[in-house]
Structure 1
Amino acid sequence: MDCWTLLELPDDADERSIKRSYAKRLKTTRPDEDAEGFQRLREAYERALQLARWREEETDDCSPEPVASALPADNLQAWSGLVEMSPSLAPMPTVAVAPPPAQALLKGLTLENLPQRWPEAQAQQCAQDFQNLLLEHCCNHPEQRAPLVEWAVQHLEWLTPWQSLSMSDAQQRSLVGALLGYYRQTLKDQLQANQERAFLAQLTHYSEQLWLQIFDHRLQWQSTVLMLLNEQQWSVPLFERVCQVFGWDEQRGAIPEPAWVWQHLVQRCQQETFYQDLQNKLQQEHSWAPEVLAAQLLAKPLSPRQQRNLTRGFTQNEWQACQELAQTLTWRFPQLIERLPQSDVFYWRKFMPQPSTIEETWVRTWAGIGLAFTLFFIQERQDPPLLAAAMAAFCGWLAAVLGLLALTAWNALALRLLDLDLWLSERLIPKALRRPPDPRLLRHGVPFLALMALFASLLGLLGMLAYLGFTLIGALHHKRVDHVSETFRLKHPWLSVLHWSNFSPWQSVFLLLMVGVIRACQVFYPAFPLTRLIPG
């Protein structure tokens, strides 16, 4: 189907007829309802305009030049005689030529008197000349261009296919750019003044204008609004209403261009929605939901004592809610951290009970104390190694059980001293030793000193140094032996306890070295204070 059949026009239709036919069919073939039909209509319209302009150019090139009719010879002679015989004529006086009516109406034109000048141009039968001169005036006076063009698109149907004047592509781009810039500035002022209701009303009014129903103009207008929203602050309901005005819907694939700006706005919308939900949870002071308590811990200004009181009754559910909220803020909405009272969203970890499994702690403590008792019995009682190991196993088991009972009581007491513990830990523990789980001076320092005193009483100064060095290597050296697989842990729980997971490889080397040094000193130099604290 050719362009003339689709537009229902004859082959010799002029440019004005083509534009009127296109505008008539544009009302029934909308781009958002029938994209393929609109594309065919648009191609037919552009092809018909091209053919009409070619036909007009060929007609102008082939028009004959006007030729003066030859005068008769006798008339020439009569005229020549008259010229020779007549005296010299006096010069004619100069008469001022009045300007055309349209030009006179355009003199001193402003936006205030334009509504009165246009009816006068129609009454004086110079409406078309007035529009042409108005177009030229808009192009030559940028300071008046935007408001004059806005009036023209509303009353004279400028920038639409059914406008009555012809304008070049450069003129059309200039007028469209000026008008969109004028609209953008108006909407920007309303956003900066936080007048969102007026912004939506003005945006709806602009978007319903006829010239913005043209597909190309509407795309340019949507991109302008999209960039404006990317630069300004707004609320989530406002963004949702703007999407309704333009029909933006990511699920249906109706998203504006540029796509990266749209994705950024969607991210901002999700961020503001998340922050508003966070603020709503802060108002629920009598709720004990884990999500509400986590929001209050991270987003509410609290003193250290209030933080400790809030986390005192936390269970695994509350700590998990804090972890999820902190991770969401860190990875999805990092810009929201600037609005929170705490820049470190993981600060609450210092209030958590230290993660440890009773089984692993008990068995490893038993193994360490049993090794010390073994070396002690070999030196003091001169027992055979097997007998010393058996006695050491029993004594180590008893010491480990009593030590864990004492540690449980101490942990309960340390919670009451948490404020003092945190204050001392921040000031006395070096930063090099502060690695997860965060060490605390009182809670971890007192059991550490108790174990170091036990090893010193059994093996003297070397036993104390062995325990101290083993612990410091684990704190300073970050490389660890791989974890035991979960399948192996379930099938062989006792063997998994004895595995060196979470230990540094240098710890095993140091331990073997110190055992050899201690045994050598017991054999060759069994004196105070290397292997015993009591002289004799």
Structure 2
Amino acid sequence: MTCWDVLGLPSDADGRTIKRQYATLLKKTRPDDDPEGFQRLREAYEEALNWQQWAQEQDTATVTEVVASTVVAPVAADTLQAHYQQAMAAGLGLEFEVALLKRCIADDEVSEEDRRWAFETFQWLSAWQRLELPQDLIDALANRCKNALQYSLALAMAQRDEAGFLAAYAARFDQPWLKQPAHTQWFNQMLATMLTESHFWSPAVFEAVRAGQGWHGSEHGCPEDEWQHLLRRQQGPVFMAHQRALAATAPDTPQQRAARLLLAPMSLGQRRAFAQRLSEPDWDACRTLAATLKADHPEVAFAMPGGTPYFWQDWETAFDTLPLLLAIVVGCLAGALFQAPWQAGVLVSTAGDAFAWSIAYMAGGALAWQVWRPLAHRLRVLDERLAAKLPRWLSPTRLPLLPVRDLIPGAAMSIAISLQFGPAAGLTLVAVLAAVGAGKRRARLSVKEWAAIFPRKAMGAIGLGAIAFALVFGALKYLDSRHQVSRNQGLQQWTERVCSRMPRNAEACQAPATHAQWYGQEATQ
């Protein structure tokens, strides 16, 4: 007699049925009345539970192997349906579904047909899915589906593939899980963010998404911040055409000057030279235009120097005064040395005086510039018209020199040092400025300063400058030393030098000293 015969149950009874039958029979077979019968019942009960647990483990392993073999090698949907029916017949429908869910999450080789069958059969990610499914698996499945959909759309945008994006967007109808409100809201937000931040913009893509998502009227479903950006980007061709037209016209207004700095086809050196002519209202216009380009026209912003519309920020506070300062110092030094008596031993002191005067000219020029610069900005329109009549070779950066802003201050400084140190000083100042300008014309500058890109070379240039200064100073000192007399050379009176050792009545000491007697050997040099 088997344990099933004792319990009166079939061999495929589950654990719950076995426990209920045991409780029922236990009321009829008490240990006090029938100890042997109770012992047989207890043994049959334990054997049936052990058998049922073993059979369940075997069936679960079998079902798992069936699921694994099914999804690894693509099979027809009816085959997968047959396996599911077998699991259901064995009471292992939940186990089958969980195993298949794990494979769909972890295995990229699961066929699309099998995935579609699983979603349709089990209604995953919907309100009708099993409540017994582990939540972590449901969340992992949702993330996988979202990532796959987002990747296909983002890849098309990155490749600037308009047709590919439209095809991927149309495939959303094959994703029934998107019908759930939470997933629909995520998809709507993801599309708005993607279109806003992408460098690629297609009016056809925007209109397709706008129609598909129902972004119309005041009750549109697009997030408000992104919606305003998208509308501006849709109107972007008109806006960019207007800004490029401003960049091509004479820079008479701050908006025109901002458009020219950011959008005109100029080299970086020309942009930097143009930036030195801007005033505070011009910089405000640059900030406004740059913010608009970054937010609504990322493709245009990415094509700018350094990949950003804010490439000019370091130029706003920078003022390229080094060429002018160098020209003032060299001009004063050259003019002073040109006028100095080289045979008098005063070259070092003359150079020191010239350097001190150059500092004074720098300070005075800086104060005068603070007064002159606002006036030059007010006369900007007239200045541009006058600059158009000047020859282009005068400009150091292929930008027309502005007579009011550039030439008049430079001429005033040249005349000022010429009046004190002679024409050689003014000509030297002009020559240094011309040499620096010629170097700028040939230099290929990047967004960063040369000293920031090549710090070692910059330090080396400073070191060479210090060495050159030391050599010049040493040469002047050497020249001075050759033409300076000692305390016993030509400084005393002739009688003190010769007649102090002679008798008072010496004939040679009675007459006034001659030129040769006074200077001695020095008179022949």
Q: TM-score range by the shorter chain?
A: 0.3 to 0.5
TM-score calculated relative to the size of structure 1 = 0.39
- Relative contact order (alpha carbons < 8 A, sep ≥ 6): 1 or 2 greater? 2
